[in-house]
Amino acid sequence: MDDMNNLNQNPQQMPTYSQPEVEPVITLGEWVLTILITCIPCVNIVMLLVWAFGSSTPKTKANWAKAQLIFVVIGVVVSIILSAVMGASLAALYD
């Protein structure tokens, strides 16, 4: 109760709360263009890197690009593993 009295007596000591930053809304058209760009081979990886780590990209789009890059890496690793297994099985078949 003493804390409340102290706050009422000294309004300068009251904590100030800042408003959270409002991210710009990414429109439907921007998302359609984004997805179309990611359909272009080689350009998609470059643009995902730009969007994921660029400073001017909205946070929601940056997080989406980082998630897409994670899936790309997983896909590459799985492809390498499957290629190695298929190569080994074909080598064993011909021996």
The predicted pLDDT at position 4 comes to 57
- Which 3 state secondary structure label does DSSP give 5? helix
DSSP3 helix / strand / coil % (the chain, rounded to 5): 75, 0, 25
Q: Are 48 and 69 within 8 A, CB to CB? A: yes
**Domain residue ranges of the chain, discontinuous segments joined by +:** 25-94
pLDDT tens-digit map of 22-75: 888 999 999 999 999 999 999 999 999 999 999 999 999 999 999 999 999 999
Q: Note the pTM of the prediction, 2 decimals.
A: 0.72
